[in-house]
Amino acid sequence: MTSLDPRLAEFATRVQPCLRRDAPEAFWEAEPALQALLSSGYITDALNRDLGALREDPTHFGNWRPSEWLLHRGPGYALAVARFELTRRFIHALPFYGMLSPLGGASLRYRRYRLPPAYDNPVFTPGLTLVPDGEGSLAAGEIMRLHSDRYAYDFQLSEPALVVKLSTAAIRPLEWLFSRDQLQSWQANDADLSYTQLRVAADVLGKFAHQSSLPALKLLGEHPHHSVRWAAIQSLGRLSRSEAIAYLQQALQDRHPHIRRAAQKTLDQIQKK
């Protein structure tokens, strides 16, 4: 912590107690800390320092991504300056809590939608419809709370905008995408990149089909994320029929309905052979 700018260090000290797994709503208690950081001039100073470092050393990389400049990452949260592009193709139901504050003089217009009554984040259901719930405008320096457990937000942009974003780590497993025209659920993506990586890893192990991969696949078959569990069970079938059947039978009692249905369908197909 001593290497941080004192303003950022103070911010991190104040935010960390607001990140509690047993009480996600405590995150909103971090708003005064974000407001103090925005008022301190830290964002401008940090940008000037980073650009100065780039001027002195053209190979300086920093924490820049295609549409985001990461200012700080702490246990369970991240602070960044994000570039909001023009209106996106889909309306995203976010898997994390967040707070936004526009930079510059322009305000940020948005529409808010209530998530469908049948919305259950871990169990993607196509065709559920968002419910319009008003619109508003966020001025520079103001802070907007993203209550992503209840709402999806659609930002209306005539030109790209820079926004300070404080967000938690994913607190739900999926990010749902809703079509802009019909407001219906279209697809869902893993909220955490590690879930996707583990699914790919399970698939690769299955294709290698080496017996030494059995312990790893059995471990992934117990993973908390349902898509990782199912990828592991599928790959087990390439290494050991008996192990795969045992996991399929266990999956009949899985907590996720998609896994239960897929396991039953697969066992039925095995019995027909």
Condensed to tens digits (0 to 9), the pLDDT of residues 35-76 reads 999 999 999 999 888 888 888 887 777 788 888 999 999 999
**List of domains in the chain:** 6-191 (2.60.120.10), 194-272 (1.25.10.10)
Q: What is residue 156's predicted lDDT score, i.e. its pLDDT? A: 86
Q: What is residue 3's predicted lDDT score, i.e. its pLDDT? A: 72
Condensed to tens digits (0 to 9), the pLDDT of residues 102-122 reads 998 778 999 999 999 999 999
Q: What is residue 4's predicted lDDT score, i.e. its pLDDT? A: 83
Nearest alpha carbon to residue 174 among 218, 228, 130: 228
Burial of residue 195 (CB within 10 Å: 0-12, 13-18, 19+) is buried
Nearest alpha carbon to residue 153 among 108, 217, 105: 108
Helix axes 6-15, 42-56, angle to 10 degrees: 130
Q: What is residue 2's predicted lDDT score, i.e. its pLDDT? A: 46
Which two structure tokens, joined as six digits, stand for 89?
Answer: 């193709």
Nearest alpha carbon to residue 144 among 92, 102, 99: 99
Q: Give the residue ranges of the chain where pLDDT is below 50.
A: 1-2
pTM above 0.75, yes or no: yes
